[in-house]
Every structure is written in C-alpha cells, then in structure tokens.
C-alpha cells in the first residue's frame, strides 16, 4: 500500500479506464489471460449500452411496435436494464478476476493513474471512457429543464408535447417511441433531412414513417431561442417558425469523452470534440508506453459492436499478437420501424473520395414478402466501386433490415466478387430476395464497363 507522496497503492499489469462495453471486454479478457487488471469506473460497470442507451431504447421500440401500454413498456424496459444496478456486471468482473476501482480515474503521467486520491501503477493503459451528449449553444436552452437520451430512457414520464432536437439515430428512435405512446412529437433537424449522414433515401423513408405516426418534422431549421412560458416551453426556429413543448429532448450528437483524463501527461494531443487518436492496432498515437483506446472515445464507428471489435483488437495486441482493425463494413443501424441499416461507404463519402461509384437499387414493394407482410415500405441500395468491381457500401430501409442485410456486410468485408454474389439464392418469400436484382445488375454492368459507359 502507498504511504507517502509518489507511493503507488498497487502496480497492475493493466489499468482499464472506463468500464463500458469496451472496457469490460478488455479487462475480462486480460484477466482471463492471467494479467493483474484493474477496471476504473465512476458510474455503472457495463457503461451506457445496458442501462441508458441500446437496451432500453430497443425495449421501448419493441413495446411500441407491439402496441403495449406505456406503463407496461416502462416496466419491461426497467426490468431489462436490471433496475440500473450493476451487480451482475460487477459479479462478471469479479468472476474473471478483475479488480474494480470505483471512482473517477485520471492519468498522472507514464505508468500512473489516480482514482479518488489513490495512485495506482500500470504496465499497459487502456482508455475506454466512452462519449457524452453535446448540448448545442442555443439561446435560453441552458435555462430550461432538458432531457438527454439518458433521461428519456430512464424516467417514467410521457410528456404531452415533446420537441426532439436532432434527427440522427437517437432523435429518430426516440421520436418514434414517444409518438407511438401518444406524445405529440416534433423533430427539429438543422440539415435538410433525417439521418443526414446516410444515403438520402434512408432519411426520406423514415421521414415518411414518422410523419404517418403524427410527428411534426421541421427539417432545415435550427432552434434559435428557447423561453419558458406559463403554459410550458416555447421554441423559436431559425426559419421563423415556433413550437410549444412540455419537454425538450436534446439528441444533437455525442462527443468522445477524451479531455480531462490527463492524456496530455503522456504526450497525447486531443482536439476538442475529437476522439483519442489511435492507429489501426488501436494504440494511442503519440503516447509513451503501452497506451491503447477502444470504443466511443476513439470517435470511430461509435456503436456497441464496434466497441467490442476494437476491444478484441486491443486484447490481441496487448497479449502479444498483431491485429489491425478493419472498419470497411461496420453496420450502422437505426432500430425504428422500418429499420434503417447501412454499412460501408455512403454515396456522399464516395463523391468526396473521388470514387467512381455504381449504384443499383430495388424497392421492397416488389418482393413477395412485402405483400405477405402487407408492408411495402422501403428500399435497398448497393454501391460498387467501378474500378475494383466489388461492393463498398449498402443501405436499406425496411422491416428487419438489421437481420437480412448482414450478408452484404460480409460481402463488403470479404470483397466477394459480384458475379459470385449474384449467384447466391435467397429463400422465398423474404426481404433478402431484394438484393438479387441489384447484384445481378451490378455484376452485369461492371463485367462490361465499356458498354456501361455508353
């Protein structure tokens, strides 16, 4: 035990800073490999996914789809999150042999981390501190009670009038949840469409679904000012419009939690709002010694499955292997009805990169499954690199797209030849059949590029 200044409480082979999806996975893996590991966590072991993000949002979306009453949906949500206690996650860590240090961790220099006044030594440091919501600088916003997704996914309240600020994945999922349970919902999205980072058709399909559910979409408008009125809150929009609300939910993006950790004491420069810079092995660039990062804190791919993937990459490398992360086919899913699924490059990114893209699409309405389900919403688009003759991106909006689009992620990652993909048979009647025609089209066009150019 440390007694005087400069004394270390304990020297660990590895200290993992942040016990979310990424941190838990790295810590358990290292401990199972026989390393002496500490996991530093100042909230709940497990991070945001099981308690405040993925699990409660998907639980509410499913209840909404089933038409369950709000009280039942909230009870199911809270049951699935284990009442937001981390006993089970902490027990998993104990069972793996990880020491959990409760408190806020801060790096004090190479080989030293402080947790609530006690200093600990490390051989390897793995930074997994996740991300946090961005609150936009809107006049008056700081003076009114706000919800972030954390609040929206933990409280039992169903506001009568809800304004959602931001039409990204979080805003769209929660707008659908609250509108389904009877709130009067408006979404204010500064860019001209929902899910602005994805192929335009995806946001359009979702906009149509949300409008049909009664959501008031204010696209291309920002919030200029917010004021408290006797009857609630009033928002003035940049396009001159106004909205009245009982509650504002800010879903305007998240930033990596990369500052205030003491990374500069290791020689690492972090720009405000950016992730901890990592190379393809997830080693932190510019740091002295064995310093790694995984999950949202890297600012890359920012999903639970990407956090797990990066954790596995770190694990392999710390244990002496050499593994590089490949982000070409990480899925991006919005679990609304219909689902939006995208992976690989978007048409917008291809244009920026100067890639000669060939696109082929198909409306789900043309599948027999759409008729059987009596749901003809949606479309799939596949994007191929003309010069290489392989798929490099895809997007779909449609029921269960998160399940039937996985083969396209595999095709992108494996660089499967288009001619082979076009020969794959899909079961009838499935939405998966919808990729057959675009694959045949791309295979034909890219096999005869001169003809296509005409």
Round to whole Å and give the CA distance between 185 and 18: 35
Residues that bind ligand FAD (CB under 6 A): 17-23, 40-43, 47-49, 53-54, 57-58, 104-105, 128-130, 149, 170, 257, 261, 295-297, 302-305, 307, 335
Between the alpha carbon of residue 150 and those of residues 97, 412, 428, the distances in Å are: 30, 34, 41
Distance of CA 403 to the CA centre of its chain: 17
165 binds ligand NAD (CB under 6 A): yes
201 versus 335: smaller Cβ distance to ligand NAD: 335
Q: What secondary structure letter does DSSP report for 18?
A: -
Instruction: State in angstroms the smallest separation of the CB of 451 from ligand NAD.
Output: 40
Please state the length of the chain. Answer: 454
x/- map, 356-395, ligand NAD, by CB under 6 A:
----------------------------------------
Give residue number: closest CB to ligand FAD: 20
Q: Which helix (H) or strand (E) holds 360?
A: strand 357-363
Query: Looking at the DSSP assignment, which residues form a beta bridge with residue 42?
Result: none
Task: Tell which residue, 110, 144, 117, 433, has the closest CA to residue 291.
Answer: 110
171 binds ligand NAD (CB under 6 A): yes
- Encoding tokens for residue 440? 């045949």
Round to whole Å and give the CA distance between 44 and 391: 40
Between the alpha carbon of residue 290 and those of residues 110, 123, 258, the distances in Å are: 9, 7, 17
Instruction: State in angstroms the smallest separation of the CB of 64 from ligand NAD.
Output: 15
254 binds ligand NAD (CB under 6 A): yes
- Encoding tokens for residue 112? 């030293």
29 versus 295: smaller Cβ distance to ligand NAD: 295
168 binds ligand NAD (CB under 6 A): yes
189 binds ligand NAD (CB under 6 A): yes
Instruction: State in angstroms the smallest separation of the CB of 22 from ligand FAD.
Output: 4
166 versus 277: smaller Cβ distance to ligand NAD: 166
Say if CB 250 and CB 136 are below 8 A apart. yes
Q: Which of 107, 270, 334, 392 binds ligand NAD (CB under 6 A)?
A: 334
Instruction: State in angstroms the smallest separation of the CB of 202 from ligand FAD.
Output: 16
Round to whole Å and give the CA distance between 2 and 375: 65
277 versus 389: smaller Cβ distance to ligand FAD: 277
Round to whole Å and give the CA distance between 78 and 318: 36
55 versus 421: smaller Cβ distance to ligand FAD: 55
The residues of the shown chain that bind ligand NAD, judged by CB under 6 A, are 136, 138, 165-171, 173, 188-191, 196, 222-223, 251-254, 302-303, 333-335
């Amino acid at each position: 035990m440390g007694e005087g200044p400069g004394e270390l409480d304990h020297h660990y082979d590895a200290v993992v800073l942040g016990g979310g999806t990424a941190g838990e996975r790295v810590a358990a893996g290292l401990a199972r490999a026989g390393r002496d590991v500490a996991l530093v966590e100042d909230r709940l072991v497990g991070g945001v996914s099981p308690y405040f993000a993925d699990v409660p949002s998907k639980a509410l979306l499913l209840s909404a789809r089933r038409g369950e009453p709000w009280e039942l949906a909230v009870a199911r949500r809270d049951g699935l999150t284990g009442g937001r206690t981390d006993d089970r996650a902490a027990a998993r860590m104990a069972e793996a042999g990880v020491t959990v240090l409760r408190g806020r961790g801060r790096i004090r220099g190479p080989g030293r981390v402080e947790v609530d006044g006690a200093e600990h030594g490390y051989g390897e440091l793995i930074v997994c501190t996740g991300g946090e919501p961005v609150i936009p600088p809107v006049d008056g916003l700081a003076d009114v009670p706000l919800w972030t997704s954390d609040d929206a996914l933990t409280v039992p309240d169903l506001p009568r009038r809800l304004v959602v600020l931001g039409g990204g994945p979080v805003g769209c999922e929660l707008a659908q949840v609250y509108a389904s349970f009877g709130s009067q919902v408006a979404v204010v999205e500064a860019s001209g469409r929902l899910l602005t980072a994805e192929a335009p058709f995806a946001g359009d399909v979702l906009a149509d679904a949300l409008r049909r559910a009664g959501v008031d979409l204010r696209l291309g408008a920002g919030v200029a000012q917010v004021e408290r009125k006797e009857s609630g809150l009033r928002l003035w929009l940049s396009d001159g419009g106004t909205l009245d609300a009982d509650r504002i939910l800010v879903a305007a993006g998240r930033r990596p939690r990369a500052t205030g950790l003491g990374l500069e004491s290791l020689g690492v420069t972090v720009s405000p709002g950016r992730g901890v810079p990592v190379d393809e092995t997830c080693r932190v660039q510019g740091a002295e010694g064995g310093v790694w990062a995984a999950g949202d804190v890297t600012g890359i791919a920012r999903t639970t499955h990407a956090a797990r993937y990066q954790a596995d990459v770190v694990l392999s490398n710390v244990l002496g292997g050499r593994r590089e992360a490949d982000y070409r086919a990480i899925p991006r899913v919005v679990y609304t009805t219909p689902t939006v699924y995208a992976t690989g490059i978007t048409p917008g990114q291809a244009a920026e990169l100067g890639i000669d893209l060939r696109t082929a699409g198909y409306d789900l309405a043309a599948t027999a499954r759409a008729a059987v389900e009596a749901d003809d919403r949606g479309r799939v688009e596949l994007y191929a690199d003309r010069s290489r003759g392989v798929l490099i991106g895809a997007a779909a909006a449609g029921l269960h797209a998160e399940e039937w689009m996985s083969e396209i992620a595999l095709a992108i990652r494996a660089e499967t030849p288009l001619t082979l993909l076009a020969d794959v048979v899909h079961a009838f009647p499935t939405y998966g059949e919808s990729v057959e025609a675009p694959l045949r089209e791309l295979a034909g066009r890219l096999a005869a590029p001169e003809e296509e150019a005409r």
